[in-house]
Structures are given as structure tokens and as C-alpha cells.
Structure 1
Amino acid sequence: MGDLLIRDTCDAMKRNIAVHAERRGGSLSDETRRLVQKGMIADETVADDDDLTGWDSLRSILGPENDDEAEEFATIMDEIEAVRKRDFC
């Protein structure tokens, strides 16, 4: 795993990250990674495709794009939905 050096950050920013890290019980590096990841997720563009399912929308956030796992998850969710419809309709 590589290192990342962030240059020219103001002292106030470093202090703010350090305060957040302390509140969460993590290191400055851990908190910086968390904030960068959070920023990347927030910056993602949302597809305007009407055929996009909820799973498709969440897939990039929740984990690796493994088609086998995605199919297994979709099958499980279909089974849950079928039981829900059967029991409540």
C-alpha cells in the first residue's frame, strides 16, 4: 500500500482533522483517509438512467463490483420480496 503526502495544508485544517480523529478514537491518518473517502463518495455523479435499480445505485458505495456477489444479493432480495408480498398481500 502506498503513502500519500498532502502538502501546503494550513495548521487549522490539520487541527480540525486531529480533533475529529481524537473524537473517533483513530489516528490522524485514519481520519484523513475517512474524510477523503467521504469526499469521493459525495462527489460521485448520479446516473440519470430510469432503469437504474437501488442496488445499482448503492453498488459502487457498498463494495467491490463482483458480479457473482451481486447476483447472489439480488436473488436473496428477490426471495425476501416474494415472501413479503405473499405474507402481506
Structure 2
Amino acid sequence: MPNKYHHQYRYTRQSIKTLCQETGFEVLEVQRYGFLPRNMWGVFPKAIGNFPLLAWSWDFLDDILAYPFSVVCQNYLFVARKPLAKSSE
């Protein structure tokens, strides 16, 4: 939704990898998720917004849509680790 929701910083797959590498982390995985907006649930009464079956259904649909529409998903998930120090033998 233009001009309604925005983030100060916008990251790309490459910028995440670069930031991790510059700080000594090894990137194991990068994925996009969040095709469906979450912010809109605040306008509904809490009983509807917190209904477990509705939340599960929304998450399920979001997971399915994240694959074909990953290019326009809003969020990145990444897994990185600090490599183990090599022992000097």
C-alpha cells in the first residue's frame, strides 16, 4: 500500500550477505516471506484478529503464496553463523 506502510531500510539478498560477511558471519540460508500484509489485522476486533484458525489459515496461505511471489515478499529471513575458529595444531 503506497505511502501507508514503509521501512526506513530496504535490504536485498546481496546486502544481507555482504553485511554478514563484513562482520565475519557465514550465510547458510536466505529466504523471502511475507506476501500477505500483517498490519491490517489491527483494524479488526481482537476476537477476530486473535482467532487461532484464522491466524493459521492466513499463515498457511502466506506460506503458499511466498513461493510463486517471492520477488514481491516484504521480509527476509536469513540464517548465519560465526565460523568456528580453526585450531592450531
Task: State if a TM-score over 0.5 links the two structures.
Answer: no
Larger proportion of strand: 2
TM (norm. structure 2) is 0.27
TM (norm. structure 1) is 0.27
Q: Which protein, 1 or 2, shows the higher relative CO under an 8 Å CA cutoff with sep ≥ 6?
A: 2
Greater Cα radius of gyration, structure 1 or 2: 1
